[in-house]
Chain A
Amino acid sequence: MKLQDLPTGGKYAPYLLSLVILGVFLLLWSAATRVPKFDPTGKDDTELMMMEMNGDIIRDENDKFINNPEKLQTIPGPGKVYQTAAEELKNPFTERGTNDHGIGLLVGYTLKRFLIGFLLATGVAILLGILIGMNKVLFTALNPFIQILKPVSPLAWMPLLLYSVKDPFMTSVLVVFMASLWPTMANTAFGVSTIKKDYLRVSQMVELGWFSRFWKVILPASAPAIFAGIRISFGSALVAVVPAEMLLGELGVGYLSWIEWNNLDISGVIFAIIVVGVVGFIMDWCLAKLASRFTFTEA
């Protein structure tokens, strides 16, 4: 039997499989985090009374003692996380206190600082990348600096940035900026410097001016490489924005996870993780859609 003869199960098979994997994961998760039964044997009434007063055990509807799930140091199960999520999503845009903003607002704050830093960096990176890519001298001259700055974690810049701009919002924007700068710049420079000689020859042959040459040939020809860089930048900026919020105490989905940890609300932490993942996924999907409009199949 050849590989392509294996049953594929039709068009929806991959999605069904995804659902099955999700189901198995949820089952394992709830099994692993199930609240153990309380066994009162060997304990006298005084002991039980003490435990009840401590809140370790509570009475259920049949007046039987059970373990108090609030008191157990276990990871919350899917049910608990679902409850937290439902609670949080009920009023996503309300402000209940200084540190208690609705999840919709938090996502908005994160998106704002993320997009400002990311778009700014993308603009700068594309311009510098094109300059570097078109000019061999500039490329060779700047390459050592780029190579040294590139591996520095964007978070390492934070103290210096905070010291110089003295504003946590701007600092978080700049951390995102530093995180998204290098991949786009390096990819753009690479894309521009490896444009097929034929395209440049055609643009010379039809006597395009420098602006048309840039706009109609160089930019579209290097668009696939630029977008590949943008998507790498996007990933590293998203990775940087969460700890930046945590360290700076700036409200956002990243900080949500830290607030919930301070509240010892582990289901809240899990919820925050899921929100970051979903937001990142949606934005990356949009970016991929955008990129597909500017890329082409090599003829």
Chain B
Amino acid sequence: MSYLSVDHLTKIYPSLEPGAKKGDTFTVFENVHFSIEKGEFVSMIGHSGCGKSTLLNIMAGFDDATKGGIILDGRETNSPGLDRMVVFQNFALMPWTTAYENVAIAVRQSHKDWSKAEVREWTMKYLKMMNLEAAANRRPSMLSGGMRQRVGLARAFAAEPKILLLDEPFAQIDALTRGSIQEELLRMWEATNSTVFMVTHDVDEAILLSDRIAMMSNGPNAELAQIVDINLPRPRVRADLIDDPRYNELRNSILKFLVTGKSAEKKTECGEPESLLKAI
């Protein structure tokens, strides 16, 4: 039994197409099936509309699957909880309170028997790990996008979840800042032995961070097309990776999938996902 298994997940919405009749449905993805081992960093990559964020929301418990389910550490999960902390694309920090409070709220909830001093110590530890010491007493509106997402990461890690769910966490951050936060994320992941599932559409980011990359075909009726192992040695440094031939090989094959996946869209709809795999 794996640590986390996504078990034949299907999500169907009522159709919102103009002219759709009542009872018409729209299948975002179907039969998505994979598992994640403890301590693994797995990314999911795919075009917009393939349902990867919906999948993450189902894993987080914000959304329900139409068919299938999520089993985490031997238990089926339904509602959101502290064992699956999400890092949101738009940070989702509470703007009326400080960076410290945004993290402390998760610490307090996951350790209800802790004293004020213990909560403070734990919260500051994670803020320090994300280089946020100086910003602890500032409100999110006073922080840059990069700093805000550092707070989001600190909040998620501080609760020590069984799995971290990252929903395109760096999409709204400028490219230069993104690089340094990605490195901080890697450090945190290694230091805390966490398990991470990340949704992204940035190929370089996925390769830099992940042990495995799950690739979704295009929606509607998206499917999990392939899972690629990233066998690059860690620690990975961006500057060295660029010159690594294995890195470029991986990058090219994933990009090719994303590009041809687009042209193979019709084939997928006709129910020939095998042709996709051949294309890679």
Which residues of A does B touch, CB under 8 Å? Answer: 196, 198-199, 201-202, 204-208, 216-217, 220-221, 223, 294-299
Stretch at the interface among B23-31, B74-82, B236-244, B251-259: B74-82
A218 to chain B, nearest CB (A): 11
- List 11 additional contacts besides A201-B60, A201-B86, A206-B105; criterion CB under 8 Å: A201-B80, A201-B92, A205-B81, A205-B84, A206-B106, A206-B109, A217-B94, A297-B139, A298-B95, A299-B140, A299-B141
Given contacts A216-B105, A297-B139, A299-B141, contact A223 B82 (CB under 8 A): no
What 1/0 flags go to B66-92 for Cβ under 8 Å of A? 000000000000011110111010111
Chain A to chain B contacts (Cβ below 8 Å), 14 pairs: A201-B60, A201-B62, A201-B80, A204-B79, A205-B85, A205-B86, A206-B82, A206-B106, A207-B80, A207-B81, A217-B94, A297-B139, A297-B141, A299-B139
Q: Kindly state the interface size class of chain B when it binds its partner.
A: 20 to 34
- Chain B residues with Cβ below 8 Å from A201 are 60, 62, 80, 86, 88, 92
Which residues of B does A touch, CB under 8 Å? Answer: 60-62, 79-82, 84-86, 88, 90-97, 105-106, 109-110, 139-141, 143, 148, 159
A216 to chain B, nearest CB (A): 7
- Chain B residues with Cβ below 8 Å from A198 are 88, 90, 92
Contact among A199, A216, A220, A294 with B92 in the assembled complex (CB-CB below 8 Å):
A199
Given contacts A198-B88, A220-B97, A299-B93, contact A204 B141 (CB under 8 A): no
Give Cα A206–Cα B140 distance, bound, in whole angstroms. Answer: 19
Contact among A199, A207, A295, A297 with B94 in the assembled complex (CB-CB below 8 Å):
A199
A81 to chain B, nearest CB (A): 46
Contact among B91, B105, B159 with A299 in the assembled complex (CB-CB below 8 Å):
B91
B148 to chain A, nearest CB (A): 6
- Chain A residues with Cβ below 8 Å from B109 are 206-208
Give Cα A298–Cα B91 distance, bound, in whole angstroms. Answer: 12
Give Cα A299–Cα B110 distance, bound, in whole angstroms. Answer: 25
Give Cα A216–Cα B105 distance, bound, in whole angstroms. Answer: 9
- Chain A residues with Cβ below 8 Å from B141 are 296-299
Give Cα A19–Cα B232 distance, bound, in whole angstroms. Answer: 74
B160 to chain A, nearest CB (A): 12
